Amino acid sequence: MVKILLGWALATALIVLAVRYFWQDDKIRTSANSTAATLVGTSGDEAVVTLTKALPACCEALSGFLGAGSPEERNQFVLNPVTTAARMARFYDLNPFIRIDPLTIKNTTNSLLVLPGGRAVETRWSAPDGRTLDCVFVQQNGEWRLDWEHFARYSDYPWQLFLTGAGEPELEFRLLVRERLVKQRSESSLMSLVFYQPRFGYPDQTATASPEFLVSRNSPDGKLLAEAFKKHAKGELLYASKLPYLEPPDMLRVRVLLRRQPAPADADAPFSFELAKVIACHWMSLDDPSVAPPPPPAAP
């Protein structure tokens, strides 16, 4: 009789644990399904149908990434896990890993993206502490994976340290950029730019600003940025996105290669900085710049 009672109690405990586990996991799925039902379009719209099918898997990937207890576990949920693993390890050695309980976040809005290599899913989430999580998922080997470089706003080195002279002299950063003195310099051959570090989870806020960068308007990078600013001002979204910009209206997301060099002895600051290359006008791990500079005027 005692054995029967003990067996019954053990079975009951296992059932309770299973119910709790699947109930927690189902919270993520329920959030995804309820959001998909509110998407713009009809049930026959290809974008809505595709997004409805992909969204639960994207939500599970984000939940798995945030809930992982080790770097090895996180690697299972990110895009290009083999190459991303080393970059994640180096990044989190230099930057804190911000813990967010996946059961506390709420899916707010979603969109399908049309990238050069295929479709992707863009999602946004709100966290209890006021953070907004902006995530992109790409299908790879049949699984929807988190574009971690976009999610973390990956840079090769901490921005503040680079500005003070630490680290390699040429590094890649994901930053926000703003053009200064737009009206005053409208006839100038040089653009005046300032780069800002974005605050993770707070897209309307920025941290440390750079010194002024001067870029020729006629250079490939100058033409690319000028076209990107023009499209941004018109509210033209990238890759057929349906989600409005999160950053301030006069700022662009950019992935750039920046160079630091010693300044002349009589200069006011110990270093000068230059823009080596604009890789892209977005933060995704995608080398496509997203905009193309206008073609040169036709010869008369």
Over residues 79-88, the pLDDT tens digits come to 999 999 999 9
Q: What is the mean pLDDT of residues 125-153?
A: 95
**Tally of CB atoms within 10 A around 3:** 7
Nearest to 80 by CA among 159, 169, 149: 149
Rounded to whole angstroms, the Cα distance separating 193 from 282 reads: 17
The single-letter code of the amino acid at 193 is L
Does an H or E element contain 146, and which? strand 143-146
Statement: residue 156 has pLDDT above 60:
yes
Q: What is the mean pLDDT of residues 165-176?
A: 96
Rounded to whole angstroms, the Cα distance separating 10 from 151 reads: 42
Statement: residue 298 has pLDDT above 80:
no
Burial of 265 (0-12, 13-18, 19+ CB in 10 A): exposed
Among the residues of 46-80, which ranges form H helices? Answer: 46-67, 71-74
Q: What is the mean pLDDT of residues 183-205?
A: 84
pLDDT of 25 reads: 44
Statement: residue 5 has pLDDT above 70:
no
Nearest to 283 by CA among 177, 128, 125: 177
Say whether pTM exceeds 0.85: no
Rounded to whole angstroms, the Cα distance separating 67 from 125 reads: 15
The single-letter code of the amino acid at 300 is P
pLDDT of 295 reads: 60
Nearest to 146 by CA among 217, 220, 60, 273: 60
pLDDT of 20 reads: 39
Q: Identify the structural domains of the chain with CATH numbers, from first to last.
A: 2-152 (no CATH), 159-280 (2.40.50)
Cβ within 8 Å of residue 191, ≥6 positions away:
179, 185, 214, 215, 216, 217, 222, 225, 226
Nearest to 133 by CA among 157, 161, 159, 102: 102
